[in-house]
Each structure stands twice: as C-alpha cells, then as structure tokens.
Amino acid sequence: MSLGPVVLLTAVCVAAIAVPARAAESELSRYRGVTLGDPVAAVIDALKAAPSDVKVLRERPSLVQELTWRPLRFISGATLEADPLAEMVLTFHSDRLVRIAATYDRERIAGLTEADLHEAVSTVYGVSALMSNSVGSSPQNAMERRTIGRWENADTLILLWHDRYPDRSGLLISAIAADAVMQRAITEGQRVEAEEAPARELALRTANAAAIVARNEKIRLENKKAFKP
C-alpha cells in the first residue's frame, strides 16, 4: 500500500492539531490553539472569531454555548495552504470549553481509508485504544457512525469517527468530567422546560387574548369618536 496519502494527512493533522510531536507526551486536550477548559473569550481570541458567532443553546440551569469555526481558505484572492479541516464546533458550559467536534473536508481526505486516517492521527496521539477495522461491516450498521480510533487519559477522551453516508470523518475531543456535568445540566434543563411548558403555553394564550381585546377596544373607541350617523 502506498504511503503517499498517509504521509500527506499525517503532515496536515500534525499542523492542525498543534500538539508536541512526541505522541507519548502529546496533550490530548489541546487542538488548533485552544484547550479544553478555556473560557469563551480566550477561544474567540485564539481563533480570531467574532463574539457574535457564539450562540446560546441553553440558559438554564446553567449556560451552554456553541461556536462554529471554519478555517480561512482565501485571502485577497490567494489560496491558502491546504487545510483538511472543514469546520469545528466548540461547546462551552458555564464559560468553559468542554467539547470540540472537528469534521474534515471531504475533498482534502478523498481516497483515504479508515486505516489511513487512524494511522495518521496515531502519529500525533500515540497508540489507539481502539484499532481501525473497516472489514466486516454488516448492511445493518453500514450507515451508523463508526468509531475507528480512541485515545484517552484521566481527563480527556478523543474519538476518531467515520460516517459512510454521507462519507465524512472527524475527531471528537471532550473533557470527560466536564462533558458529563454539561450533559446532566442539559437533561435537567429539558426536564424543567417540559414541566413548565403547559404554564408557558397558558400564559402565552392569555397574553394573546388580552392583546386582541385591547386592540378591539382601541378600534371601537376610535370608530366611535369618528362615527357620524
């Protein structure tokens, strides 16, 4: 098997992930100049993003925000160096980065197999706890997301994944404990919202009815004043 594609992706992965070259000592929590645990402002500054790009996903019981970032590909009409990253979605809980979901550009990794991707990422993070095995997929799970690489320590989990339909691959990097706390907060928020939904709906209907009554009364008074038999 030719190693050309593997060498190419290895180079771009190392540049994109920006961690020390020594896999055994690589910092799992760092990616593209940001680190899990960073505050929103620090991430915005590191990525040169706009504060308005940060979206609020949930406010209760604690704040959950999301930032979608894409690398620049053109400056004044000049093409930048090829970048395998299509986009990354960064999720924050209580002003701290807890998850990075990176998706690769399909054209930049075209032709690479799951084994190629796994080998390239392993040059950065070291030996994976899960080895890629693209053989033997059954028709039943062919459309499911496959985890083809896994790296972790006590604090951080990295998953290399591949979707067959649509054909795409990426990395999910999460702070294990903080991500679990965020998921519990989201679940609690959804529960509270579900419980409050009937009361909110009733309040909305009451407000709408009152607005209609007020509008009709205003029309009545205006017409009464202007009416001449």
Highest mean pLDDT among 56-70, 134-148, 194-208: 56-70
Q: What is the mean pLDDT of the chain?
A: 82
Comparing 221 with 37, the larger pLDDT belongs to 37
Q: Which residues of 170-191 are buried (b: 16+ CB within 10 A; e: fewer)?
A: bbbbbbeebbebbeebbeebee
**3-class state of residue 61 by DSSP:** coil
Residue 173 lies in a domain: yes
Q: What is the DSSP letter of 196?
A: H
CA 88, CA 172: separation in Å to the nearest integer?
Answer: 9
Residue 29 lies in a domain: yes
CA 60, CA 194: separation in Å to the nearest integer?
Answer: 13
Q: What is the DSSP letter of 24?
A: G
pTM of the model: 0.73
**pLDDT over 60 (residue 123):** yes
Residue carrying the six token digits 């896994």:
150
Residue-range definition of the domain harbouring residue 23: 4-182
Residue 197 lies in a domain: no
Residue 214 lies in a domain: no
Distance set, CA 38 to CA 70, 92, 181 (Å): 19, 9, 16
Nearest to 123 by CA among 42, 5, 39, 13: 13
Residues in the chain: 229
Query: Looking at the 3D structure of the chain, how many domains does it have?
Result: 1
Nearest to 33 by CA among 80, 93, 102: 102
Lowest pLDDT segment from 78-82, 131-135, 158-162, 173-177: 131-135
Residue 98 lies in a domain: yes
Q: Give the ranges where the chain is alpha helix by DSSP (H).
A: 4-17, 40-47, 114-125, 176-226
Residue 175 lies in a domain: yes
Residue 81 has a pLDDT of 65
CA 151, CA 126: separation in Å to the nearest integer?
Answer: 8
